[in-house]
Amino acid sequence: MKITSIETCALSAGWKNWLLVKVCTDSGVYGIGEGTLNGFIKTTETAVQELQHLALGRDPRQVNLLSKTLMDSVSLDGGHIHRTAVAAIEVACWDILGKSLGVPIHQLLGGQVRETVAAYANGWYRTERTPNHFVAAAEPVVAMGFNALKLDPFGTAQGFIED
């Protein structure tokens, strides 16, 4: 099995852009990876395309060898953008390996840890950074049935939430 191409697709989800990477093989098996780096979608997409020549013709099931080859090519000056591009290609290769063996990626990486994963609402709530405003932002999320939520952690909050 050999890599024949790497395709990218930048998607907008309204408030955030996403970069998906598809690694295609000569056997028809393909893998999907994700390389979202906030604010640098097009730059990361270009980095994936620039790395493609190092992956073409290689066996995607040799995930560690391919990842090392890609990382070695950018190790001195790659930064976050190139590491994100390499990670997206690597995840797609894990997907290919899992598909070729008929097992999910989590099994390749050591197995299932838990039966269920708790869901939480993730909000970049644009509100005054006071306890009462955070409570007000949480109320509609709780009304939707969530019992956990993550608030915007950036900036300076003032005061404490009282019981």
Q: What is the C-alpha to C-alpha distance for residues 119 and 125, in angstroms, rounded to an integer?
A: 18
In terms of domains, do 61 and 141 share one? no
Range of 141's domain? 118-163
State yes or no: pLDDT of 137 exceeds 90. no
In terms of domains, do 86 and 145 share one? no
In terms of domains, do 124 and 102 share one? no
Within a domain: 26: yes
Question: What's the one-letter identity of residue 76?
Answer: L
Q: How far is CA 139 from CA 61, 77, 94, 122, in A?
A: 47, 45, 40, 13
Question: Alpha carbon 130 to chain centroid distance?
Answer: 31
- pTM here? 0.78
Instruction: Identify the bridge partners of residue 7 per DSSP, sorted by sequence position.
Output: 22
pLDDT tens-digit profile of 50-108?
A: 999 999 999 999 999 999 999 999 877 778 899 999 999 999 999 999 999 999 999 99
Look up the CATH number of the domain holding residue 49: 3.30.390.10
